[in-house]
Amino acid sequence: MNKIRFLAVVMVVLLSISLVGAQMTPRGGTVVVSDGEQLVGKNFNPFAPDPLNFTDRFIYEPMLIFNPVDGGVATPWLATGYEYGEDLQSVAFNIRDGVMWSDGEMLDAGDVAFTFNLFLTVPATDKAAIGDFLESVEVVDDSTVKFNLNRVYTLAHELIGGQMIVPEHDWADVEDYALFTNSEPVGTGAMTTVADFNEQSYTLCRNESYWRVDESGEQLPYVDCIRQVLFQGNDPANLALINGELDWVGNFVPDIEQTFIAKNPEKHGYYFWPGGATVQLYSNTTKEPFSDVNFRRALSMAIDYDAVTSIGMYGYTSPANAVGLGPRYDSWVSADAIAYADSTGQTRYNPEGAMALLDEAGYVDSDGDGIRNMPGGDNIDFKVQVVNGWTDWVTSVQIMSQNFQDVGLSATVETPDFGAWFSALQNATYDVSIGWGTAGNTPYNYFRNLLLSELISDEGVANAETWGRWTSDEADALLSAFTETADMGAHMDIVNQLQMLYVENMPAIPLFPGPTWYEYTTYRFTGFPTEDNYYAQGSPWERNSAAIVISTIHCIDDMACGQ
Amino acid sequence: MAEISALPSSLPFRLWVRLPGWARSVLKNKKSLVGILILVFFFAVAMLASALAPVDPQRMVGRPHDPPSQKYVLGTTRQGQDVFSQMVHGTGTTLRVGFVTGTIVMIIAIAVGLTAGFVGGFVDESLSLITNIVLVIPGLPLILVIASLIDNPGPDTIIFVLCLTGWAYGARVLRSQTLALRHAEFVEAARVSGEPLWRIIAFEILPNMTSLVVSSWIGAVLYAILAEAGLSFIGLGNPNNITWGTILYWAQNNQALLTGAWWTFIPPGIAISLVGLALILINYGIDEITNPRLSSS
Amino acid sequence: MTRAIAKPAANKPSDDPTFFTKALDSVYAIVNSRFLRRRFVFYLVAAFAAITLNFLIPRLMPGDPVQLLFARFQGRLDPRAFEAIKAQFGFVEGPLLEQYLLYLRSIVTLDFGPSIMGFPIPVTQVIFNSLRWTLMLMGIASVMSYVIGTLLGVIAAWRRGNRIDTTLLPIASVLGAFPYFFIALLAVYVLGFQYDIFPTSHAYDTGISQDWSSPEYLWSVVYHMLLPLITIVITSLGGPLLGMRNNMIGVLSQDYIVMAEAKGLTERRIMLLYAARNAVLPSLTAFAMSFGFLVGGSILVEIVFSYPGMGYTLLLAINARDYPVMQGVFLMITAVVLLANFLVDVSYVLLDPRAR
């Protein structure tokens, strides 16, 4: 059956070549990418802590793809669909027919079951913590796999659907999965042949039996190979990008209009879609005065958000809304929460308001040194932390600390290195710090990682982004209720309530939605996402989108196609 | 001398005659005089910083990357800060890192190197052991470790770390030179005549290594200034402290060369090399004074 | 053993040996040198102390490698998977003493286990990939600048006031007074980017495969090395040049030089046999020491030219708190520096009979 279908596809391809040969999409060429990868060794094991970046984009594929621009809607990939059982305690996936591994074997339900049984039996491979909710895996028939859950968990399809599926016939004999480097990968992805590998770059070439075809039945991808080139830092990568040596890049480029676009406005393009996680200002609510919501609110009113985004962030993003949900989640934003924030004036630049609020809450200059004190008379003297070297954030924090000084607070900037900074956040040894948020398919992940008390370990280590340590039973209950219903209306309602909690209690101050770095040049290839046709997130480091983009771009002329 | 002795009662003359002989020789040498004048200029800038540049170097006062103009003599940074003010205010910190580090390093190096080289035996063994251990510890990782152990690494951290790791090099060089000198006749003579150890070291050996000591000191000062710039460039400095190194760091991070904002990149580089040039000129001058026979003029 | 005699037996009255017996003497001196034997024990102690410090230093740093791995994903990795990844990194846990013994064993067997940042890639592989480029570029560069600098220094001191002394020395010194990365960035920007004469990054063209027998590849390696090499040599020439010149000046005022001159020996002979031979000793020390700075200094080169190498690997390892890689790199540097020092001691014995 599968073989027949494949043959049919081949026939259609051949037919279309002979019929509309002149209009066929040009094929061939090597796309040169730089996504900031720091290569250490040849490791294509998708379940290793940090495999090579191309592993889960072009070699292995998941059952569902969540294109960030699609607002959390799944695109069927290795599965054609999924369905929850009536009790919401199981979910069944239908495996696509006619998908071939790069060594010629067919993908079947057995491979999927093998992959998930691996997570259950070898915890070291379970990077997404599937074992947390998955009880067992059943092969129903050749093309159906049923996942039995240990509780009602309506986000199971996102996590299950997002896992890379590995071939049973290639992986069953591996001795130690944790130490497996998989140097000759067999995958279902678009680029599975490791053509070159060295300390500066590595190249993957097309999977001759890739399952995807375009509208006219032509096999995808159009390009032959993709090469990752490594640079020690941003600057040399940016020089190469401006020189036209790179086709597809996911780098921060300062003053991009002037440095990159102006060099060749025809061939150079970028779009920093503000669909990334919202960057927030966290404060340690276990310490005074940050435990006082009025103090946090006053801080948020002291910040000159426009200066932060225009100078600190080079104008690449704009201030966040009061609930910290970026444009990607527009349909989820609660009007009530926004109205509440409007009434208090929080997260709007208003130094007078901030000063009035501080006065009212008792933070006045009681010893006459020009700096505000605690109501008890103690000095307020806090440090705002930012990772050394993250210059856009450092500038943003410098602006904010000036803003805090302007309302009479003693704030100084502190720039520990990444490790020390992260450790301070997790162990609550900081005062105030800038930090990232989470961007998931729905706002659930954002609120969960910010508010869920379970994420603070018994030893007191704050995981995910619970760095502010503001937790409540109400938030915990809402978050767990979200995973127990599949009803969209109920989800909306829960997210509304979470937003209310967020604006009332200000567990963090939302600064700006993160811009997603993405640049491209069209000297050799075309078809990249543009601002007008943003069919997928452009950043080459976004794996869901990258799998779509690689099968959309194609070379433009004989020279590019021949490379 | 003639033009100075013509004004016997003037203040400069009274100061001049009070100077020790070596200082007069240094000031009479054209090269070292130029070097000293350059250094005096930069020290004056450092001391008069607030008067010369009243604009807060940290404040964002102008538009991003404003080219040099009447208002901002050296333009503004990407953050809209006044580059001239940053240069002026950064002078003091940069010089402090350089001269404090260089001097401490040299004092330790002389003490350790000369003692080890001259005394020999067990003292030499233990001092050389410490010296060599310090030399084989990779300095940069040590700097990183200390930077991450200390909450807010700043110029003082850099001074501390450079001193901790920097003296061993000089000590080793001076020790080997001392080894070469220790059996020289005049040293043996001093020893036979029963001069105490410290006198032999201070009055017999040290003066014979003046050019090496001075060039090592100059090297240490220059090394410290360049190391500060290099560390800042890698991103290990504190971007809140303004030094010439951090100005370069920010210029590079904002790709000053690509955007054409040379005024944030060129001045700190030139300033560093001018201080270096001054030090080198002083070294030349002292060479010529200690070895007039070989003076190039 | 360490308590040595106050006066080494170096003052023996010696007759005037011929060149031949002198050479034999040298070999004999190296093999039988009490000095070198003492130094050998000394190096063992130094190596042991450095190795122990190498072990302790990374562990003093705040931050946990597994947490940092998570942090690198900035929320894209599920926090619940923490245990899964911790399970993979089991080897960095355990009491300090146990870790230390494991570390000592790894030094003996040269097996440092898997790295953390590239788990499960072995540390030796991570280091080897970068080590060869660092040794090649920095080795060539430091030998070049020392040899050229020392030779020019001899000439400059020999004839004070000649062109090398009055022109080249000031230029070299001023170039050395610029921060290295300042010159290198200007070179990359002007010569690489604006005028496109040199490549702006990498050790060879990323479009061609690594093949040491292919002339195209070799040319690419040479071509990519030119600009880093030139910038390193011109900015580091000043040190050895000035150092050698100053040493020469010091030596030239010595009594034995004056005596040699009085004896009517030729100038060339005085320069090379008497002055340069003695003046080169501190320069030699400086050269050996410079190996320790090799890795530290190469970080700047690697960042500016995006050249693969150990310095940048070390920076990555430090940021990722990758103890095994850090220790591996530390160990390589330590070994290279100790070896260089030992070689310098050997040449001391040869050049300075008093050290025998």
Q: What's the pLDDT tens digit per position in A340-375?
A: 999 999 999 999 999 999 999 999 999 888 899 999
Does B91 score more than 50 pLDDT?
yes
Least confident residue range of A147-161, B245-259, C86-100: C86-100
Instruction: Say yes or no to pLDDT of C271 above 90.
Output: no
**Residue C319 in this model has a pLDDT that exceeds 90:** no
Q: Which of residues 252-281 of B touch C (CB under 8 A)?
A: 252, 257-258, 265, 269, 272-273, 275-277, 279-280
pLDDT at A95 over 70: yes
pLDDT value of residue B5: 46
> Count of CB atoms within 10 A of residue B274's CB?
16
Q: Highest mean pLDDT range out of B136-150, B248-262, C110-124, C234-248?
A: B248-262
User: Side-chain half-sphere of A109: how many Cα atoms within 13 Å?
Assistant: 16
Kindly state the average pLDDT of the residues B107-111: 91
Neighbours of B207 (CB within 10 A): 10
pLDDT at res. A429 = 92
pLDDT at position A552, please?
A: 96
Is the alpha carbon torsion for C218, C221, C222, C223 positive or negative?
A: positive
For chain A, percent of residues with pLDDT exceeding 70: 96
Find the CB nearest A258 among B236, B252, B259.
B259
Can you give the pLDDT at residue B144?
Answer: 63
Q: In this complex, do C121 and A41 lie within 8 Å of one another by their Cβ atoms? A: yes
Question: Higher confidence at residue C126 or residue A529?
Answer: A529
Lowest average pLDDT, out of A524-538, C23-37, C117-131, goes to: C23-37
Q: What is the pTM of this model?
A: 0.85
Residue pLDDT, tens place only, A458-486: 888 888 899 999 999 999 999 999 999 98
Residues within 8 A of C (CB atoms), A 50-79 only = 50
Give the chain A residue whose CA is nearest to the CA of B80: A311
Condensed to tens digits (0 to 9), the pLDDT of residues A397-427 reads 999 999 999 999 999 998 887 878 888 999 9
Mean pLDDT of C303-319: 85
Indicate which of C76, C124, C126, C313 best probes the interface with A, i.e. most A CBs within 10 Å of its own CB: C76
**Over 90: is that where the pLDDT of C278 sits?**
no
Q: Across B192-201, B253-262, C81-90, C159-168, which has the greatest mean pLDDT?
A: B253-262
Average pLDDT, chain C: 78
Q: Which residues of chain C make contact with A444, given a CB cutoff of 8 A?
A: none
pLDDT in tens, C103-159: 888 888 887 777 888 878 888 888 887 888 888 898 888 888 888 998 888 888 877
- Lowest mean pLDDT: which of A68-77, A83-92, B240-249, C76-85? C76-85
Pairwise pLDDT comparison (C101 vs A384), residue with the higher score: A384
Decide: A409 and A380 in contact? Cβ < 8 Å.
yes
- Mean pLDDT of the region B8-30: 73
pLDDT band at C77; cut points 50, 70, 90: low
| Contact B139/C at CB under 8 A | yes
- Average pLDDT, integer, range A27-42: 90
pLDDT band, very low/low/confident/very high, at C4 (cuts 50, 70, 90): very low
How many contacts (CB atoms, under 8 Å) link B and C? 198
Q: For residue A106, report the phi and psi dihedrals to the nearest 5 degrees.
A: -90, 145
Inter-chain residue contact C179 with B269, CB threshold 8 Å: yes
Highest mean pLDDT among A187-191, C52-56, C320-324: A187-191
- Best probe of the B interface among A395, A397, A412, A429, by most B CBs < 10 A, is A395
Instruction: Identify all chain C residues contacting A124, using CB atoms and an 8 Å cutoff.
Output: 84-85, 87-88
Between positions 411 and 470 of A, the ones with CB within 8 A of B are 412-417, 419-420
- pLDDT tier at C81, thresholds 50, 70, 90: low
More confident residue, C35 or B53: B53
Instruction: Give the separation between CA B211 and CA C160, rounded to whole angstroms.
Output: 15
- Chain C positions touching B273 (Cβ under 8 A) are 174, 177-178
Q: Is the pLDDT of residue C5 over 50?
A: no
- Give the confidence band of B293 by pLDDT, cuts at 50, 70, 90: low
Beta strands A519-521 and A248-249, pairing class: antiparallel
Non-local (6+) Cβ contacts of C118 within 8 A are A40, A41, A43, A50, C126
Confidence of residue B206 (pLDDT cuts 50, 70, 90): confident
**CA A480, CA A154: separation in Å to the nearest integer?**
10
Rounded CA separation B111/B201 (Å) = 10
| C285 or C329, greater pLDDT | C329
For residues C279 and C287, the answer to whether their CB atoms sit within 8 Å is: no
d(CA A334, CA A342): 12
CA distance B108 to B134: 13
For residue C8, pLDDT over 50 is answered with no
- Of A293-302, B156-165, C345-354, which has the strongest mean pLDDT? A293-302
pLDDT band at C11 (very low <50, low <70, confident <90, very high): very low
In the predicted structure, residue C194 carries a pLDDT above the cut 50 = yes
Chain B residue nearest residue A261, CA to CA = B259
List all residues 6 or more positions away from A268 whose beta carbon is below 8 Å from its beta carbon: A242, A260, A261, A519, A520, A521, A522
pLDDT band at B297 (very low <50, low <70, confident <90, very high): very low
Q: Is the pLDDT of residue A7 over 60?
A: no
Single out the residue of A69, A195, A26 nearest to residue A546, CA to CA. A69
Residue closest to C57 by CA, chosen among C326, C329, C332: C326
- Whether the CA torsion A336, A341, A345, A347 is positive or negative: it is negative
pLDDT of A507 reads: 96
Sheet hosting strand A508-513, strand order edge to edge:
A410-414, A381-385, A432-435, A278-283, A508-513
Interface test with B, best of C12, C39, C241, C246 (most B CBs within 10 A): C246
> ipTM of this complex > 0.85?
no
Residue A523 φ/ψ, nearest 5 degrees: -70, -35
The better pLDDT of the pair A22, B252 is held by B252
H-only helix segments in C162-214 = 163, 169-177, 180-187
Report the distance separating Cα B230 and Cα B162, nearest Å. Answer: 12
A412 to chain B nearest CA, in Å?
9
Query: Which chains have 3+ CB pairs within 8 A of A?
Result: B, C
pLDDT of residue C281: 78
Angle at CA of residue C66, ends C63 and C67, nearest 5°: 55
Residue B287: pLDDT over 80: no
- In chain A, pLDDT over 90 holds for what percent of residues? 77
DSSP C77: S
Predicted pLDDT of residue A1: 45
Give chain A's end-to-end CA distance (angstroms, integer). 37
Instruction: Report how far residue A66's alpha carbon sits from residue C247's, in angstroms, rounded to the nearest whole number.
Output: 70
Cβ distance A311 to B64 less than 8 Å, yes or no, reads: yes
> Parallel, antiparallel, or unpaired: how do β-strands A554-555 and A410-414 relate?
unpaired
With CA atoms as reference, the chain A residue closest to B240 would be A413
Backbone angles phi, psi at A75, to 5 degrees: -100, 125
The whole-angstrom separation of Cα B276 and Cα B95 is 11
Render C249-275 in DSSP notation, one character per residue.
HHHHTSHHHHHHHHTT--HHHIIIIII
Across A148-162, B52-66, C333-347, least confident range:
C333-347
pLDDT score for A68: 92
Q: How far apart are CA A113 and CA A140, in angstroms?
A: 10
Place of tokens 């051949």: A14
Q: Of B279-288, C199-208, C282-291, which gets the smallest average pLDDT?
A: C282-291
The 10 Å Cβ neighbour count of residue A291 is 14
pLDDT tens profile A220-235: 999 999 999 999 888 8
Q: Which two tokens stand for residue C235?
A: 């900015």
pLDDT value for B164: 84
Determine the average pLDDT of the residues in A485-504: 95
Mean pLDDT to the nearest integer, C2-21: 46
The answer to whether the CB of C309 falls within 8 A of the CB of C137 is: yes
Tally of CA atoms within 13 A in the half-sphere of C60 that contains its CB? 16
Q: Can you say how many angstroms the Cα of residue B25 is from the centroid of all Cα atoms in its chain?
A: 22
Could you give the CA distance from residue B256 to residue B258 in angstroms, rounded to a whole number?
6
The DSSP secondary-structure symbol of B57 reads T
The overall average pLDDT reported for chain A is 91
Instruction: Return the higher-pLDDT residue of C41 and A377.
Output: A377
